Amino acid sequence: MKNRRLAICGWLLLSLLLTGCPATETTLAPTTPVTETPIAPTVTPTSAPTSRPTATPAPTPTARPTTPVNFIPAETRTAGPILPVGFDGVPLSNRGDMPWWNDAVFYEVFVRSFYDSDGDGVGDLQGLIQKLDYLNDGDPTTDEDLGITGIWLMPIHQSPSYHGYDVTDYYTVDDEYGTNADFQQLMTEAHARGIRVIIDLVLNHTSTQHPWFQESRDPNSLRRDWYIWSNERPTGEGWHQDPGNALPGSGYYYGYFWDQMPDLNYENPEVTAAMQDVIRFWLEDMGVDGFRLDAIKHLIEENGVLENTPGTLAWFEGFYVFYKDINPDALTVGEVWSNTEQVVAYIGDKVDLAFEFDLAEAMLKAAFNARPLMLQVAQEKIIASYPPGQYATFLANHDQARTRSQLANDGQAKVAATLQLTFGGVPFIYYGEEIGMSGAKPDENIRRPLQWTADGGFTTGTPWRDYYEDYRERHIAGQSAEPDSLLNHYHTLIRLRNQHEALRTGAWQPIESDRMQVYSMLRSTEDEILLIAVNLSGRPADDYSLSLEVGPFTPGAQPAALLGEGELYAPEINVAGGFFPYRPVEVIPPYGSVVLQFLREN
């Protein structure tokens, strides 16, 4: 108990340090790539790279005897999928108490970098359509596709910048990406494969080139108070003088992220009404399945407080009612780059999901340091804080150093993937993470073209940004042919998640391990119990044992392997449904994982 209290106190301190601010977008011309050096995970997601980390060896066992294990050979049993399937091929929870997104695995796509269909060096919607079968071919019986069932598109609206977070027209697709008709074709093709599509919606600000802002620059304009203006320069950061405006009293405008991104004024009801029109257009006319909402904690500033204000929370309550009235099944996932306590305030009556930054940090640290304690504390906190499953998990995104650049090797990347895709919530995978693409700041280097083949394969022309330097060795074609590749590890994990309801929506319970290098948990439903054991280290785990005082097992429970190799052993079940010291397989290889299925007796 003393160690547990110390761990919780440590977690609380870490939570305070984890609060961060999204990276400011900048507009830069393509340049020759810099050499990015992988960095260890830190509590500051935007920190600069440091020296390359080395894999952390497993903690040296203390001088204590190994817990005796009674090896009971398991009966031979073939594992079977628990796969309620909908008419469109998408796995569906069969309990009727979870929304569709809890059955989804999302893939974050930067259209500019995914695939170029016309050779101009810029990815486009037609390129994405051509490569949809890589994500999901629509046939649940095949295993060549990744198995993705949701796509999040980074901004696709008209914008003067490569990243698209400064919008000039919310109603049309950026010319470099295609047309509105191309988007509608994408929706048709995606839905035919069982893939739902959500798009980035930037509410907080527009581009300075947006007609609304251009009109607002006139002090006499009816749209003057669509943005936040001051005749005199206020104190504090984020204020910018209107350049080149000779009109008297043109003054200063507020833009939290950048001088090219002026903040909208949501204390003006006309701004809310204008954005509601945008939301209705994309839900009704374009058929989108929902929105990823950028930087929502900054929507309304109050009395010098810049984030998570009462005004922001109140606005999103009205927003929630509005979009649910249009489509009750529409999904919103918010970016609230804050700690868990602040994120939870948005869930349920403001947005459906929000990204769990604290959990992402904990998973990466566990994979890098081979120490699971803080991960378990984070998971316990999440289970206690959120409505069941209503949070979005990820490892890294377009604002952070890529996962592979924060870890020492592909083994650690496999561990991180396993921790994410066997836990609850709704997983989001940043494009290229499945092959271990690297990238660190500046932002353009985190958003490089996807490496399809040994010659790049993204375009027949010159890519808008050079590939990462390892593209000849690290690419989709090569890893597809390697059974033990990171890509095929993702294939296996996503397919398991799609096939097993317990991984998507099941109850979570930690299992005690007597060796720090082994992390273990249960995921369970009325039909099955899945036991997951992960060797976090680069050393074989051959002297471990797992214990569960109270659990869901019945005597005679027999395992079947869903993931992992080796002779299986059955647990010795106690009167409380747990088990005595248990080693399901004799050895878990370095960075290896074991997933065992126990069927419940109904």
Comparing CA positions, the residue from 492, 480, 456, 507 lying closest to residue 594 is 492
Annotated catalytic residue within 116, 145, 242, 335: 335
Edge to edge, what strands does the sheet with 239-241 contain?
229-230, 252-254, 239-241
Provide the 3-class DSSP secondary structure of residue 331: strand
Which tokens belong to 388? Answer: 């069941």
Taking each helix axis from N to C end, the angle separating 2-18 and 373-385, rounded to the nearest 10 degrees, works out to 70
Bridge partners (DSSP) of residue 427 are: 393
- Give the separation between CA 353 and CA 393, rounded to whole angstroms: 10
Annotated catalytic residue within 25, 242, 289, 294: 294
Residue 523 gets the label, from left (phi > 0), alpha (psi -120 to 50) or beta, of: beta
- Confirm if 590 and 411 have CB atoms less than 8 A apart: yes
Comparing CA positions, the residue from 431, 398, 357 lying closest to residue 107 is 431
**Strand 518-524, strand 528-535: pairing:** antiparallel
Place of tokens 């008419």: 87
Name the E strands within 258-414.
290-293, 331-334, 353-354, 392-393
- Give the separation between CA 357 and CA 340, rounded to whole angstroms: 8
- Confirm if 131 and 144 have CB atoms less than 8 A apart: no
**Strand 546-550, strand 577-582: pairing:** antiparallel
Q: Is 466 a catalytic residue?
A: no
The DSSP letter of residue 19 is -
- Confirm if 101 and 152 have CB atoms less than 8 A apart: no
**CB 4: neighbour CB atoms within 10 A?**
10
Provide the 3-class DSSP secondary structure of residue 192: helix
- Give the separation between CA 436 and CA 447, rounded to whole angstroms: 13
Place of tokens 């993702």: 490
Place of tokens 């996807």: 450
- Give the separation between CA 160 and CA 180, rounded to whole angstroms: 18
Comparing CA positions, the residue from 3, 18, 99 lying closest to residue 341 is 18
Q: Is 294 a catalytic residue?
A: yes
Cα angle value 7/59/544 (rounded, 5°): 90
Catalytic residues: 294, 335
